[in-house]
């Protein structure tokens, strides 16, 4: 009934100039202070209504709105809209800022969103732009099924509880919807390296990019430190959800200016659909989380849809995680060594150390099944330290100038101890620094926080070299790498695999090799499996190669045999 009154009133409020002009059946009257008839009419409306100007300064709040907002007195005309909520015990300060933001968004053509209140209901706003630039805001209380917590204070997004409440409401309506979860690989290294303030900047920027990348009736929430969730009502197609997820992860993976530098993080996503994957809010979010956890495992970003088999795989990962510390104590890890070839001389120049877990029941477990789990669970530091010590000790027994390459994970830079660990491993083994090369992934190479950079410089001062591993899978450009302290790029296997026919791969490899040589970098092609690929890569300017064509990773005891086979001379 109340809203009918307003609908009836709406056509009357037209022709607004700087002040309001009222048109009714009888004609047109210029409105002028002190008694503006339009103001008076809105004031008299039984339902809550607020008038403000285009710069979101309040002209009038009627009695219904005062009651609804929990305000004792009418705000002074000219007060900024967000500030009126500050006076109310029913809203948090963040809600006040949010009101200003949703109204700004509405002015730009978006819907006016909902503002959480302390306690159960939410404030929904409907905004009508009246001719002449006066805004009519009609607040309405929306009952939410669960008490709505305040929003995330850092980003102004909904928090986990609010997200679940909204999801529950959407599901109760029987609407199909998509639930997306997103996070960043290596976010912790920003906090650790550049400080919490820079981490906050990254999260706020991420929140903004997510909002910009979505429709106005989608809901974005920050549900954990660097975890975001998106609710897309009405989406029932996996293809659509995946497209959105990929668009958002691509957007989040673009450089973010924080702490005085461009931080590049790889974002990844997982999603689930209702009703296909579940119809209960917490369960659906859990499904999206499982899908995200699987995306994390392959390290390259992107997005996956929930699949019921993920539940079992999560259990397996959990079992792996709980077995990892025991594996270290019981010396169940082993290193295998794969030859690295110089393409000009066709001789072995060194070996890459690749870890395996010699599990008493499961047999040899490959690194991709447990290294990402170790990274997520904070156990990579201890494992990585063991790898460094073992690889240096082994390589010290090889004839110079053979080198050893060791993979280092992002998280190993987190506590700042890496230079000391590398120094210790070299000293204990007697291996000179120049015979050790550390491989770091492209995303870490670019995250390049000052703390990471400082550690790389300290390690380079020991003569140790650095390679960028899996080059081409991240988002860096060669120009970005120019100023970074690397000696080698390792072109990811996915490009080499497409040879000799993949034209795009040919073009990329050629460009990388050309620029790499101009920058004085060695270029290794990974995953060389055939003679044809080897010949092509050499012709394209790669300087080194690694792959099954020369030899698979094998236990340390095979090294003399591999050298004899490839170099014609045993140790």
Q: Which stretch, 42-50, 156-164, 193-201, 543-551, contacts ligand C2E (CB under 6 A)?
A: 543-551
Q: Which of 79, 122, 249, 407 binds ligand C2E (CB under 6 A)?
A: 407
In this complex, which beta carbon is closest to Mg ion, that of residue 183 or of residue 470? 470
Considering only residues 356 through 375, tell me which ones interact with ligand C2E, judged by CB under 6 A: 366-368, 371
Phi, psi at 542, each rounded to 5°: -70, 145
**Alpha carbons 226 and 221: distance in angstroms, whole number:** 11
User: Quick check: 159 binds ligand C2E (CB under 6 A)?
Assistant: no
Binding mask 447-486 for Mg ion (x = CB under 5 A): ----------------------xx----------------
Residues 546, 552 contacting (CB under 8 angstroms): no
In this complex, which beta carbon is closest to ligand C2E, that of residue 119 or of residue 366? 366
In this complex, which beta carbon is closest to ligand C2E, that of residue 306 or of residue 337? 337
User: Quick check: 439 binds Mg ion (CB under 5 A)?
Assistant: yes
Whose structure tokens read 């993949």? 502
Sign of the torsion angle spanned by Cα atoms 397, 398, 403, 406 = negative
Tokens coding 535? 């010949």
User: Quick check: 385 binds ligand C2E (CB under 6 A)?
Assistant: no
Q: Which stretch, 13-21, 88-96, 450-458, 525-533, contacts Mg ion (CB under 5 A)?
A: 525-533
In this complex, which beta carbon is closest to ligand C2E, that of residue 152 or of residue 385? 385
Closest CA to 352 of 204, 559, 160: 559
- In DSSP terms, 138 is beta-bridged to 126
Peptide bond between residue 34 and the one before it cis (omega within 30 degrees of 0)? yes
Sign of the torsion angle spanned by Cα atoms 256, 258, 261, 263 = negative
Q: Which stretch, 176-184, 313-321, 322-330, 522-530, contacts ligand C2E (CB under 6 A)?
A: 522-530
From residue 152, give the alpha-carbon distance in Å to each of 145, 159, 207: 19, 5, 11
Where would I find the H helices in 330-379? Answer: 371-376
| 371 binds, options Mg ion, ligand C2E, none, Cβ within 5 to 8 A by partner type | ligand C2E
Residues 513, 500 contacting (CB under 8 angstroms): no
Q: Which of 65, 355, 525, 545 binds ligand C2E (CB under 6 A)?
A: 355
Tokens coding 536? 């092509």
On the 0-12 / 13-18 / 19+ scale of CB atoms within 10 A, 376 is middle
Residues 15, 28 contacting (CB under 8 angstroms): yes
In this complex, which beta carbon is closest to ligand C2E, that of residue 269 or of residue 405? 405
Q: Which residues contact 398 (CB under 8 A, 6 or more apart)?
A: 351, 404, 559, 571
Q: Which stretch, 257-265, 432-440, 471-479, 500-508, contacts Mg ion (CB under 5 A)?
A: 432-440
Q: Which stretch, 53-61, 67-75, 393-401, 540-548, contacts ligand C2E (CB under 6 A)?
A: 540-548
User: Quick check: 242 binds Mg ion (CB under 5 A)?
Assistant: no
User: Quick check: 294 binds ligand C2E (CB under 6 A)?
Assistant: no
User: Quick check: 64 binds ligand C2E (CB under 6 A)?
Assistant: no
Binding mask 306-345 for ligand C2E (x = CB under 6 A): --------------------------------x-------
Hey, what's the torsion of the CAs at 33, 35, 36, 41, to 10 degrees?
160
In this complex, which beta carbon is closest to ligand C2E, that of residue 92 or of residue 473? 473
Nearest distance from C-beta of residue 384 to ligand C2E, angstroms: 6
Phi, psi at 36, each rounded to 5°: -85, 120
Phi-psi region of 185 (alpha: psi -120 to 50; beta: other; left: phi over 0): beta
Closest CA to 292 of 378, 226, 219: 226
User: Quick check: 443 binds Mg ion (CB under 5 A)?
Assistant: no
β 544-545/522-525 pair status: parallel
Whose structure tokens read 């090889």? 398
Nearest distance from C-beta of residue 492 to Mg ion, angstroms: 6
| 527 binds, options Mg ion, ligand C2E, none, Cβ within 5 to 8 A by partner type | ligand C2E
In this complex, which beta carbon is closest to Mg ion, that of residue 157 or of residue 512? 512
User: Quick check: 437 binds Mg ion (CB under 5 A)?
Assistant: no
Closest CA to 475 of 321, 325, 330, 302: 302
In this complex, which beta carbon is closest to Mg ion, that of residue 192 or of residue 439? 439
| 547 binds, options Mg ion, ligand C2E, none, Cβ within 5 to 8 A by partner type | ligand C2E
Nearest distance from C-beta of residue 456 to Mg ion, angstroms: 16
Whose structure tokens read 């492209």? 442
Nearest distance from C-beta of residue 312 to ligand C2E, angstroms: 22
Closest CA to 355 of 343, 373, 342: 373
User: Quick check: 409 binds ligand C2E (CB under 6 A)?
Assistant: yes
Helix (H, G, I), strand (E, B) or coil at 491: strand
Closest CA to 12 of 140, 141, 134, 139: 134
In this complex, which beta carbon is closest to Mg ion, that of residue 220 or of residue 408? 408
Nearest distance from C-beta of residue 296 to ligand C2E, angstroms: 14
Q: Which of 5, 153, 315, 548 binds ligand C2E (CB under 6 A)?
A: 548
Considering only residues 488 through 517, tell me which ones interact with ligand C2E, judged by CB under 6 A: 493
In this complex, which beta carbon is closest to Mg ion, that of residue 277 or of residue 470? 470
Helices (H) and strands (E) in the chain — how many of each? 21, 24
Under DSSP, the state recorded for 158 is: B
Kind and range of the H or E run holding 328: helix 309-329
Q: Which of 88, 295, 407, 448 binds Mg ion (CB under 5 A)?
A: 407
The residue ranges that bind ligand C2E (CB under 6 A) are 338, 354-355, 366-368, 371, 384, 387, 407-409, 439, 469-470, 493, 526-529, 546-548, 553
């Amino acid at each position: 009934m109340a809203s009918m009154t307003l609908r009836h009133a709406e056509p009357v409020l037209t022709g607004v100039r700087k002040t309001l002009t009222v048109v009714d059946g009888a004609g047109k009257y210029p409105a002028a202070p002190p008694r503006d008839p339009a103001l008076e009419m809105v004031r008299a409306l039984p339902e809550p209504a607020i008038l403000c100007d285009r710069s979101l300064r309040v002209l009038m709040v009627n009695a219904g709105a005062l009651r609804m907002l929990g305000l004792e007195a009418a705000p002074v005309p000219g007060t900024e809209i967000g500030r009126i909520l500050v006076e109310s015990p029913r809203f948090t300060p963040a809600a006040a800022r949010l009101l200003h933001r949703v109204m700004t968004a509405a002015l730009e053509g978006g819907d006016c969103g909902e503002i959480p209140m302390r306690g159960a209901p939410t404030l929904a706003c409907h905004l009508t732009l009246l001719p002449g630039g006066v805004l009519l805001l009609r607040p309405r209380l929306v009952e939410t099924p669960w008490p709505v917590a305040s929003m995330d204070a850092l980003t102004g997004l909904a928090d986990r509880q609010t997200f679940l409440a909204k999801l529950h409401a959407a599901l109760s309506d029987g609407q199909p919807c998509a639930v997306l979860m997103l996070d960043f690989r290596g976010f912790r290294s920003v906090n650790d390296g550049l400080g919490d303030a820079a981490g906050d900047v990254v999260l706020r920027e991420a929140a903004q990019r997510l909002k910009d990348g979505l429709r106005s009736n989608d809901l974005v929430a920050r549900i954990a430190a660097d975890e975001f969730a998106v609710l897309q009502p009405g989406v029932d197609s996996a293809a659509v959800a995946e497209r959105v997820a990929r668009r958002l992860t691509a957007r989040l993976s673009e450089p973010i200016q924080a702490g005085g530098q461009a931080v590049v993080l790889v974002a990844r996503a997982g999603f689930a659909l209702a009703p296909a994957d579940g119809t209960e809010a917490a369960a659906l979010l859990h499904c999206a989380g499982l899908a995200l956890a699987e995306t994390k495992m392959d390290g390259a970003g992107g997005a996956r849809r929930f699949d019921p088999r993920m539940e079992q795989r999560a259990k397996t990962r959990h079992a792996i995680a709980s077995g990892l510390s025991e594996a270290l104590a019981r010396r169940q890890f082993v290193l295998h060594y794969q030859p690295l070839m110089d393409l000009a001389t066709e001789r072995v120049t060194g070996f890459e150390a690749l870890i395996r877990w010699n599990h008493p029941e499961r047999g040899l477990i490959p690194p991709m099944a447990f290294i990402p789990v170790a990274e997520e669970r904070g156990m990579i530091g201890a494992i990585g330290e063991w790898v460094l010590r073992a690889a240096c000790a082994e390589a010290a027994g090889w004839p110079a100038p053979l080198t050893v390459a060791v993979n280092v994970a992002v998280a190993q830079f987190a506590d700042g101890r890496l230079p000391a660990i590398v120094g210790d491993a070299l000293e204990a083994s007697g291996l000179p620094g120049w015979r050790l090369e550390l491989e770091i992934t492209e995303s870490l190479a670019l995250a390049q926080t000052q703390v990471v950079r400082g550690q790389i410089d300290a390690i380079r001062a020991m003569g140790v070299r650095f390679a960028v591993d899996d080059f081409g899978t991240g988002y860096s450009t060669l120009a970005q790498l120019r100023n970074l302290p690397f000696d080698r790029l390792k072109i990811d296997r996915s490009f080499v695999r497409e040879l000799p026919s993949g034209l795009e791969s040919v073009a990329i490899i050629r460009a990388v090799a050309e620029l790499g040589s101009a920058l004085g970098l060695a270029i290794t092609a990974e995953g060389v499996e055939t003679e044809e690929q080897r010949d092509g890569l050499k012709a394209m300017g790669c300087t080194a190669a690694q792959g099954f064509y020369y030899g698979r990773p094998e236990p340390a005891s095979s090294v003399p045999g591999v050298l004899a086979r490839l170099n014609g001379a045993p140790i």
